[in-house]
Amino acid sequence: MRFAIFASGSGSNAARILQAVQSGDLEGVPQFVFSDRKDAGVLFKVEQYNVTAYQFSPKEYESKEEYEEALLKLLKEHRVEWVVLAGYMRLIGDVLLRHYEGRMVNIHPSLLPSYPGLDAIGQAIDDGATKSGVTIHYVDRGMDTGPIIAQQSLSIERGETKEQLTTRIQQLEHQLYPKTLQRVFKEGEAYQ
C-alpha cells in the first residue's frame, strides 16, 4: 500500500511507522511525510528514513478548501492510497474526505469516545479517570468520532503525572499503530 503520513508535532509515531517499514513489520510504501507546521520535529526526524517531507501552512491559502486541494494534488501526484494521521492537529475537511474517507486512519491518546480532541491525557487526569489508553480509528467529519479499528487500555496509577502517563501512552501507541496499520493495509479494503 502506498501511504502518506500527516503530522504536526514531534513525529514519534511517524518515526515508529517508518521504522516498522524498514524492519519489514509494516508492508507499505511511504510516499511522503507532510506537516502543516514548519517547525515541527517530524520534519527533522524523517530525514534519516530517506522519505520526502513536505510542509506548507493553511495560512498560505485563502480557505480550508484551497489548502486541502493543494494537499489532494500532492496525494494524487504520489498515487497515495492511504493517509495515516500521526499527531496531525487539524480536522479533515470535505475535500480530503471525498477522496480518502475509509482510507484515512488516525491515532488518539484516549479510549474513545472518552476525551476526544486536544489534551486527552490532561483531560483524563483532571477528570480523575482510572483508565486511559490508545484508540486507532477511521477518520470521518467529526472530531475523533470515526469507526474504531483498535484500542488498548492501561490503568492510570495513583499520583501519576501527565508527563508520566504521556510516556506510557506513547509506548502503547508505538506498539499498536504499526501492527494495526499492517492489518488494515493487508486487508486492503477501505471502511465503507
Q: Active site residue: 78, 108, 137, 174, which one?
A: 108
Q: In this structure, what C-alpha cell is assigned to residue 187?
A: 486487508
Helix, coil or strand: residue 189: coil
Answer yes or no: 137 catalytic: no
Q: In this structure, what C-alpha cell is assigned to residue 61?
A: 491559502
Q: 3-class secondary structure for 95-155?
A: HHHHHHCCCEEEEECCCCCCCCCCCHHHHHHHCCCCEEEEEEEECCCCCCCCCEEEEEEEE
> 120: phi > 0 → left, psi -120 to 50 → alpha, else beta; which?
alpha
On whether 13 is known to bind a ligand per the annotation, the reply is yes
On whether 128 is known to bind a ligand per the annotation, the reply is no
On whether 169 is known to bind a ligand per the annotation, the reply is no
On whether 17 is known to bind a ligand per the annotation, the reply is no
On whether 93 is known to bind a ligand per the annotation, the reply is no
On whether 11 is known to bind a ligand per the annotation, the reply is yes
User: What residues contact 95, with CB distance under 8 A and at least 6 apart?
Assistant: 64, 65, 68, 69, 71, 72
Between CA 3 and CA 34 the distance in angstroms is 11
On whether 12 is known to bind a ligand per the annotation, the reply is yes
> 159: phi > 0 → left, psi -120 to 50 → alpha, else beta; which?
left
Residue 16, Cβ neighbours under 10 Å: how many? 17
Q: List binding-site positions for (6R)-10-formyltetrahydrofolate.
A: 64, 89-92, 106
Q: List binding-site positions.
A: 11-13, 64, 89-92, 106
Active-site positions read 108
